[in-house]
Structure 1
Amino acid sequence: MRRPLLAALMALLLVSACSTKLNPFNWFRKSAPAETTALVLPGPEQDARPLVAQVLSMTVEPMKGGAIVRATGLPPTQGWWEAELVALPLGEDGNQIFDFRMLPPIARADVSTQRSREVTAAYQLSDFKLAKIRTITVQGASNARASRR
């Protein structure tokens, strides 16, 4: 009885003493629906690619040296290409917003099934950038998904 209790206490102390990289309580949680934020950048820096119609899912996966933000979007038809998560300036509240942008098909494209239209894009964040971030939001044209620490 004492051994399992002692082992559990040791494990609890070990986890609580972990750095931010190893402590699972400091990782980002599952994404949840969020409000879209309309932010227009001035000047020629504005991206001409339209936002994806709908953001289906978003995850923040820890890795050595930082994390990977991965999002899956659903465009209206097949054939959309050059998908990218475009980072907007970091908000004062620690909210990092990404626009999920991609180019439409060059020729007419079919609608087909949802699975055949899904597109995935990812963005790598360093530990240095992650230290300032509290919330990560990926937004599309009709919805957004956010993950908080």
Structure 2
Amino acid sequence: MYRPLAVLLIGSLALAGCNSRLNPANWFGSGRSVPVQGSADNALIPEQRPGLLSRREAPDLSQPIAQVSELVVERKRGGAILRATGLAARQGAFEARLVPTDPELRPDETATLTFDFLVVYPEGDTETGSPHTRSITAAYSLTDHQLENIRAIRVRGAENALESRR
């Protein structure tokens, strides 16, 4: 029992190391480099074409929140978390987010990084309600590298803006 198994194992190891046609690794020949026709950006990413079931990109329906009521910058390992709470103009606001005015997070000439507090309101009319029911919070994570040259962080709403300084 052990002799046929040992012979098979030794034979397969010897065959794997040789360059003969009996070796399954050599059955399809050696690979060669063939140039690929594609875009200059990245040939590995296919071009986007609309498909039968693809959706069109929806328009951005977000609007600035009515008021920014609280701004907190919480230090964490490797950076900080920017947390802002705002008061929406009416109930039902959703998809709250802090969007930097500069997508590359470069501060302005006063070393201030500015964010817009955006929300999406429902299409139909909703009640105004109490301030507690219109309160909404959003957060944004910043790394130490992004915070290097920043002296202040400003979050803007439709009616006001809050700023936090170092």
Please classify the TM superposition score into its range, dividing by the shorter chain length: 0.5 to 0.7
**Runs of 5+ unmatched residues, structure 1:** 1-46
Q: CA offset at residue 92 of structure 1?
A: 2.5
- The 1-side partners of 2:61 and 2:133 are apart by 25
> Residue 123 of structure 2 aligns to which amino acid in structure 1?
I
- The 2-side partners of 1:78 and 1:113 are apart by 9
Task: Give the corresponding residue for 1:146.
Answer: 163
> Residue 119 of structure 1 aligns to which amino acid in structure 2?
I
- The 2-side partners of 1:106 and 1:66 are apart by 37
Q: CA offset at residue 106 of structure 1?
A: 2.4
Aligned with residue 77 of structure 2, among 58, 64, 79: 64
> Residue 144 of structure 2 aligns to which amino acid in structure 1?
D
Task: Give the corresponding residue for 2:96.
Answer: 83
Work out whether 1:137 is the aligned partner of 2:150: no
**Larger Rg: 1 or 2?**
2
**Runs of 5+ unmatched residues, structure 2:** 1-59
Query: Is the deviation greater in 77-86 or in 105-114?
Result: 105-114
| Larger relative contact order (Cα-Cα within 8 Å, sequence gap ≥ 6) | 1
- The 2-side partners of 1:54 and 1:93 are apart by 24
> Residue 86 of structure 2 aligns to which amino acid in structure 1?
G
Q: CA RMSD in A?
A: 1.1
Task: Give the corresponding residue for 2:118.
Answer: 101
Q: Deviations over 1:16-75 (max 9, x none)?
A: xxxxxxxxxxxxxxxxxxxxxxxxxxxxxxx65211010001010000110000000111
Task: Give the corresponding residue for 1:115.
Answer: 132
Aligned with residue 51 of structure 1, among 45, 57, 64: 64
Within-5 A mapping of 1:12-23: none
Compute the TM-score of the two structures, normalised by the length of structure 2. Answer: 0.60
- The 2-side partners of 1:109 and 1:127 are apart by 41
Compute the TM-score of the two structures, normalised by the length of structure 1. Answer: 0.66
Where 1:56 maps in the other structure, the secondary structure is: strand
- The 1-side partners of 2:116 and 2:87 are apart by 14
Aligned-residue sequence identity (percent) comes to: 44
- The 2-side partners of 1:63 and 1:115 are apart by 28
